[in-house]
């Protein structure tokens, strides 16, 4: 009598692991991905250069402001409040003793206006988020001032579409690794989409996720970086509305 394991059965077919390549978490940046942001910062920067024209050329003021912003990031973090403090510091450096109280008041007023600007969604954002929510849970991953980001999300009317909100001081590899672990998924089951190569794309890819770069005009120079070469999990899209179809292709 032959044993069962002696039977000349054909080899069993390889079985796919259910959900192994299925996207189970969709992470989205907020500023300049869901709504306009840098246009307001750039307009405020232009107002500062106008104020300081008696003391410095436009290009000099812009370069000094950028230098102050980058120097102050470890102290103030990202957002309109830190930007306002950097504007005052740049003005002091350029105007010196000639910087009047009235000019400081004007800079503070520009900063308050920046904090109060209306939230302007990109075209089709709400419909796109509804399509994405049918694919998997959405998590907002944004950096900046906690109160300001919370107020913008509330004003956007998009909050109910998100399963989670992550307002972080910066976006680094460990930020994404911690986020994925907290949601109980493997990195390759997550997508990050945003407009910043430095903050949204490169750290998410390094953490093992998929990443969709959606560039916008007027981006802050600090957020620019060289795109990844030959990264299998990376793509560049023209608009957020293309993201659901890209994810469908992955799945």
Do 127 and 143 share a domain, yes or no? Answer: yes
Q: How far is CA 156 from CA 10, 120, 204, in A?
A: 59, 8, 25
13 part of a folded domain:
no
Do 142 and 242 share a domain, yes or no? Answer: yes
Do 157 and 132 share a domain, yes or no? Answer: yes
* Residue 56: CATH number of its domain: 1.10.150.240
Q: Is 8 a residue whose pLDDT tops 70?
A: no
105 part of a folded domain:
yes
- Starting from the edge strand earliest in sequence, which strands make up the sheet with 164-168, in order? 164-168, 138-143, 25-28, 190-194, 210-213, 234-236
Q: Which residues contact 141 (CB under 8 A, 6 or more apart)?
A: 27, 28, 29, 166, 168, 171, 175, 176, 179, 192, 194, 200
Do 190 and 95 share a domain, yes or no? Answer: no
Q: DSSP 3-state assignment of 164?
A: strand
Work out the average pLDDT over 215-226. Answer: 83
pLDDT tens-digit readout, 169-205: 899 999 999 999 999 999 999 999 999 999 999 999 9
Contact criterion met (CB below 8 Å) for 25 and 189? yes
CB atoms closer than 10 angstroms to residue 119: 17
Q: Comparing 46 with 2, which gets the higher pLDDT?
A: 46
Rounded (10°) angle between helices 125-135 and 243-250: 20
Q: Is 223 a residue whose pLDDT tops 70?
A: yes
Do 141 and 94 share a domain, yes or no? Answer: no
**For the chain, how many structural domains are there in total?**
2
Range of the domain at 85: 39-115
Domain end point (choices 63, 81, 115): 115
pLDDT at 21 (0 to 100):
63
Do 53 and 93 share a domain, yes or no? Answer: yes
Spatial separation of the C-alpha atoms in residues 249 and 210, rounded to whole Å: 12
pTM above 0.75, yes or no: yes
Spatial separation of the C-alpha atoms in residues 95 and 101, rounded to whole Å: 12
12 part of a folded domain:
no
57 part of a folded domain:
yes
Do 94 and 184 share a domain, yes or no? Answer: no
Percent of the chain with pLDDT over 90: 83
Do 173 and 50 share a domain, yes or no? Answer: no
Do 227 and 139 share a domain, yes or no? Answer: yes
* Residue 189: CATH number of its domain: 3.40.50.1000
pLDDT at 218 (0 to 100):
75
217 part of a folded domain:
yes
Work out the average pLDDT over 109-137. Answer: 96
**Low-confidence winner among 11-20, 40-49, 133-142 (lowest mean pLDDT):** 11-20
Q: Which residues contact 243 (CB under 8 A, 6 or more apart)?
A: 26, 128, 132, 191, 193, 212, 214, 237
Q: Is 61 a residue whose pLDDT tops 50?
A: yes
Q: Is 57 a residue whose pLDDT tops 60?
A: yes
DSSP state of 229: S
63 part of a folded domain:
yes
Q: Comparing 144 with 84, which gets the higher pLDDT?
A: 84
Contact criterion met (CB below 8 Å) for 208 and 187? yes
Per-chain mean pLDDT for the chain: 90
Domain end point (choices 82, 115, 148): 115
Q: Comparing 221 with 209, which gets the higher pLDDT?
A: 209
pLDDT tens-digit readout, 15-31: 333 444 689 999 999 99
Work out the average pLDDT over 77-102. Answer: 96
Do 29 and 45 share a domain, yes or no? Answer: no
pLDDT at 222 (0 to 100):
81
Work out the average pLDDT over 35-42. Answer: 94
Q: Is 144 a residue whose pLDDT tops 90?
A: no
> How many H helices and E strands in the chain?
9, 6
CB atoms closer than 10 angstroms to residue 221: 9
Q: Is 250 a residue whose pLDDT tops 90?
A: yes
Domain end point (choices 72, 92, 115): 115
Do 109 and 145 share a domain, yes or no? Answer: no
Do 127 and 245 share a domain, yes or no? Answer: yes
173 part of a folded domain:
yes
175 part of a folded domain:
yes
């Amino acid at each position: 009598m032959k044993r069962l394991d002696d039977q000349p059965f054909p080899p069993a077919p390889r079985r796919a692991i259910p959900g192994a390549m299925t996207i189970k978490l969709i992470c989205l940046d907020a500023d300049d991905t869901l709504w306009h942001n840098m246009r307001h910062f750039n307009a405020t920067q232009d107002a500062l250069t106008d104020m300081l024209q008696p003391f410095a050329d436009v290009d000099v003021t812009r370069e000094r402001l950028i230098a102050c912003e980058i120097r102050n990031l470890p102290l103030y973090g990202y957002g309109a409040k830190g930007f306002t403090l950097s504007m005052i510091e740049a003005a002091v450096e350029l105007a010196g003793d000639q910087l009047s109280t009235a000019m400081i008041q004007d800079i503070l007023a520009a900063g308050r206006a920046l904090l109060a600007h209306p939230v302007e969604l990109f075209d089709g954002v709400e419909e796109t988020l509804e399509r994405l929510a049918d694919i998997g849970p959405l998590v907002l991953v944004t950096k900046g001032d906690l109160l300001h980001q919370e107020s913008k999300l509330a004003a956007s009317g998009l909050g109910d579409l998100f399963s989670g909100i992550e307002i972080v001081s910066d976006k680094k590899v460990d930020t994404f690794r911690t986020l994925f672990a907290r949601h109980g998924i493997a990195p390759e089951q997550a997508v990050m989409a945003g407009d910043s190569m430095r903050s949204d794309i490169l750290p998410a890819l390094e953490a093992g996720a998929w990443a969709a770069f959606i560039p916008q005009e007027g981006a802050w120079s600090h957020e620019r970086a060289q795109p990844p070469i030959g990264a299998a999990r990376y793509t560049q899209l023209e608009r957020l509305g293309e993201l659901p179809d890209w994810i469908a292709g992955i799945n």
